[in-house]
Amino acid sequence: MNKSLPQESCPKNKIISIKAYAKVNLFLAVLNKRKDNFHNLNTLFGRIDLADRIILRSLPANEIKVVCAHGSVPEDESNLCFKAAKLLQQRCKCNCGVEIKIDKRIPVGAGLGGGSSDAAATLIGLNKLWRLNLNQKKLANLAKKIGSDVAFFMYGLSFAQGLSRGEKIRKLPQLVKLRLWFILVVPEIHVSTPLIYRKFDELLGLTKPVCNVKILNSALRKDGPFAVKSLLFNSLEAVTTRIYPEVKLVKKMLSDLGLESILMSGSGPAVFGLVSSRKEAVTLGEKLRGQKMPWQIFVTRTI
């Protein structure tokens, strides 16, 4: 990989700000468990305009500092942004430092990929801040080493298919012009992703998809979002709703409001419903807020 500037040439008092967008999974089939204890997946990612902001400020030497006001976000070496910066330092023999400030808006641990997107934004931003001149392919290869979802966020795509652990990204040019609106509901519960996958392995075969990403992709392209209600699928949903009944309650309340295309994202607990427009999403959001449930409610669209 390209070598960075020597330490004495590292940028001083320079700041870069970059948005880190969330994602939803319109389709998520868990295929089988791998020898490395991960799972092979087939998923359709949709990038949405709900976003964190990553602010990178140059520091002297090779110091890495993570700052976040959200109490559930670690500021130590376990943070994916820290791992992204450290990996760049090591691979590029870079002696520059950085303070990574994470302005959180994406709910933490909700199945929306916030931590992965933050890490991707850190890679992209540091490539500029430290003037590393790495191309997109090299950055994406680094992203795969940080986390399964990180690679998706490297490409700036509205939609993409994820294969293998989710890190193998296939572009879907047929969906470039498609825009989907959602009402997004996040219960204030913590869902343990390792627990969900462990229970899934115990209950393997609990649900099977009736279609695949190719069929869903075709339906979205030809017939629009309201032709896909029976095609949306998440292998993990049946497991998560068994362990965390509040996710099932969210789905029921969205259904009672008249929505038909409803799905949990990732391992949960975020649930989204497809709507026809921003206006409809705002109206539904107001109705949900009137229920006084301890939920975060967002109006969002693919971007």
- Burial string for 172-194 (b: 16+ CB within 10 Å, else e) reads beebeebebbbbbbbbeeebeee
d(CA 154, CA 144): 10
Tell me, yes or no, if 256 is annotated catalytic. no
130: exposed, middle or buried (Cβ count in 10 Å: 0-12, 13-18, 19+)? buried
Helix (H, G, I), strand (E, B) or coil at 45: strand
Name residue 206's amino acid: L
d(CA 143, CA 114): 14
Q: Are strands 262-264 and 233-234 parallel, antiparallel or unpaired?
A: unpaired
d(CA 63, CA 69): 20
Residues ≥6 apart with Cβ < 8 Å to 96? 4, 5, 7, 10, 11, 58, 59, 62, 89, 129, 130
Tell me, yes or no, if 145 is annotated catalytic. no
Residues ≥6 apart with Cβ < 8 Å to 163? 40, 41, 42, 43, 169, 170
Catalytic residue among 23, 83, 101, 251: 23
Catalytic residue among 52, 83, 149, 199: 149
Angstrom distances, CA of residue 174 to CA of 7, 149, 218: 45, 22, 8
d(CA 159, CA 303): 9
Catalytic site positions: 23, 149
